[in-house]
Amino acid sequence: MNTLGNFINGAQTPSNSGRFSPVYNPATGQQTLQVSLSSADETREAIAIADKAFAQWSKVTPVRRARILFRFKTLLEQHFDELAEAISLEHGKVLSDAKGELTRGLEVVEFACGIPHLLKGEYSLNVGTHVDSYSLMQPLGVCAGISPFNFPVMVPMWMFPIALACGNTFVMKPSEKDPSVIMKVAELLTAAGLPDGVFNIVNGDKQAVDVLLTDDRVQAVSFVGSTPIAEYIYTTGSMHGKRVQALGGAKNHMLVMPDADTDQVVSALMGAAYGSAGERCMAISVAVCVGDEAADQLISQIKQEISTMLVGPGTGLKQEPHMGPLISKVHAEKVKHYIDSGVKDGADLLVDGRDFKVAGHEQGYFVGPTLFDNVKPGMRIYNEEIFGPVLSVVRVNSFQEAVDLINAHEFGNGTSIFTANGESARQFSEQIQVGMVGINIPIPVPMAFHSFGGWKRSIFGPLNMHGNDGVRFFTRMKTVTARWPKNDITNHSFSMPTMK
């Protein structure tokens, strides 16, 4: 059995912890390798190496750092298909979805390549007589990233390209469920000319995470995952003096107005609800229909589309499936329990994916596309993030009832409205208490030059991922006020300085 260790100081390095976690192919249920779970001391060693590398890397000019990222981008493009297949085999998502993930990660690298422009500060001439003020954006030091299983490349790329471009060094802690592909990415960074020790990977569990959250040498922590863990990351990291951006859970609603184009809604909703088996923090898991007529028509067409869906392994078939397996057996069982609870709570189960089997892959972690009607607040399937291929339909009587329903939910990550009415769309975008809003767009993930992040209990910390917020997160602003007097100043002043 192959064992995956760490990536430290520019090379793959075995772990001596003696603790391991199995890694499976979700489509077959077969173990493919084991990943080491690093000890606290090994995590501290990685931090020490990154801390040492910071002294030199922070002095590299932004242009030179950008050139390394340009070469890295080229290598990512050259190895694009290989990386996408590795994502699909270890996560389970279909190949086209894996390529989409890579593309969105690449966009952040492209954004980070513009770092010489993004690090420009502000300058004010003559704020006082012969006195100028200007700002410097300087790197923090060692930064850490903790990423989830559902995007093993894209989410790390929300973090480390901008951190490195800003002059920081980085320690990445990927998910132990699909850790292989980020190791390949690290090798490409080294091949692009990144100095040893600037980017490191520590595979592990809570033991490694707690070191990253408490070690004084780590200055900032980025995290994406569930809300309870995000809150823990934020609280613990902040308590130890770190700046933290911790993105948590979601329950994303799509508001369907009576005037919406039903064909367009159905096409958008199928991909948004069932793409990547619903394992997306931006997946639409609730369709809020205004009026019974809109709900009945939507459900009729959704049921028809589900009946034609192809579900299977992400790679290896002549025709690519629409949806692959879930990440693990434990998670598949958790999703099935959610479906059980929906039935128990009185929702109408219209399409049941609990006993779904794929011929030739009976041991795979498959749950079929599932559809509920008449779902109401208070039901677990409405209140909680399922992270699986389960779509709930909620019926309301008016636009305002829908807005109030969405705003009452504890999560505020993403949402969308489908309508032909510009005034409805405008009111929705203004009134809704959600961080990312789509208008006739089902999954409103911002481009890399905008920032990604929700509201309420979907995020902890004031700054979002990538875009301008990402640059601000990975830099400290220093403001300099300067005067170069013609003559020596001999008069002492003990009062509050003012500009005259």
The pLDDT assigned to 189 comes to: 98
Neighbour-count burial of 442, counting CB atoms closer than 10 A to its CB (0-12 exposed, 13-18 middle, 19+ buried): buried
Q: Say yes or no to pLDDT of 216 above 70.
A: yes
- Residue indicated by tokens 């559809």: 371
> In sequence order, what E strands does 56-114 have?
none
Q: What is the model's pTM?
A: 0.95
Please give the distance of CA 470 from its chain centroid, rounded to a whole number.
13
Confidence of residue 226 (pLDDT cuts 50, 70, 90): very high
Q: Say yes or no to pLDDT of 488 above 70.
A: no
Which domains does the chain show, CATH number per domain?
3-248+458-480 (3.40.605.10), 252-439 (3.40.309.10)
Pairing of strands 243-247, 459-460: antiparallel
CA pair distance 230, 454, nearest whole angstrom:
13
Short-list 163, 229, 247, CA closest to 199: 163
pLDDT in tens, 317-350: 889 999 999 999 999 999 999 999 999 999 999 9
Give the CB-side neighbour count of residue 131, counting CA atoms within 13 A.
Answer: 9
The pLDDT assigned to 54 comes to: 98
State the average pLDDT over residues 399-406. Answer: 98
The pLDDT assigned to 498 comes to: 74
How much of the chain exceeds pLDDT 90, in percent?
95
Residues facing 452 on adjacent strands: 465
User: Angle at CA 161, nearest 5°, toward 157 and 163?
Assistant: 115
Q: Say yes or no to pLDDT of 493 above 80.
A: no
Confidence of residue 286 (pLDDT cuts 50, 70, 90): very high
The pLDDT assigned to 85 comes to: 97
Which two tokens mark 438? 């789509």
Q: Say yes or no to pLDDT of 221 above 70.
A: yes
Give residues with Cβ within 8 angstroms of 161, minimum separation 6. Answer: 69, 72, 108, 109, 111, 112
Q: Say yes or no to pLDDT of 497 above 80.
A: no
289 carries an active-site annotation: no
pLDDT in tens, 134-153: 999 999 999 999 999 999 99
Structural contact between residues 286 and 272, judged by C-beta atoms closer than 8 angstroms: no
Distances (CA, A) of 291 to 118, 296, 298, 399: 47, 9, 11, 10
Short-list 441, 114, 462, 440, CA closest to 451: 462
Quick one: CA torsion of 180, 159, 384, 395, rounded to 10 degrees? -110
Residues facing 223 on adjacent strands: 146, 246
Q: Say yes or no to pLDDT of 33 above 70.
A: yes
CA pair distance 254, 442, nearest whole angstrom:
7
Which two tokens mark 394? 């909620």
How much of the chain exceeds pLDDT 70, in percent?
98
**Catalytic choice (113, 143, 166, 281):** 281
Confidence of residue 499 (pLDDT cuts 50, 70, 90): low
Short-list 229, 186, 187, 192, CA closest to 210: 229
Structural contact between residues 168 and 143, judged by C-beta atoms closer than 8 angstroms: yes
Confidence of residue 1 (pLDDT cuts 50, 70, 90): confident
Structural contact between residues 217 and 53, judged by C-beta atoms closer than 8 angstroms: no
Distances (CA, A) of 308 to 98, 301, 352: 22, 11, 15
CA pair distance 173, 237, nearest whole angstrom:
15
The pLDDT assigned to 218 comes to: 98
Computed over every residue of the chain, the mean pLDDT equals: 96
Q: Say yes or no to pLDDT of 491 above 90.
A: no
State the average pLDDT over residues 308-316. Answer: 93
Short-list 298, 311, 220, 303, CA closest to 263: 298
State the average pLDDT over residues 389-413. Answer: 98
The pLDDT assigned to 489 comes to: 59
Q: Say yes or no to pLDDT of 276 above 70.
A: yes
Element containing residue 189 per DSSP (H, E): helix 180-191
Confidence of residue 293 (pLDDT cuts 50, 70, 90): very high
The pLDDT assigned to 367 comes to: 98
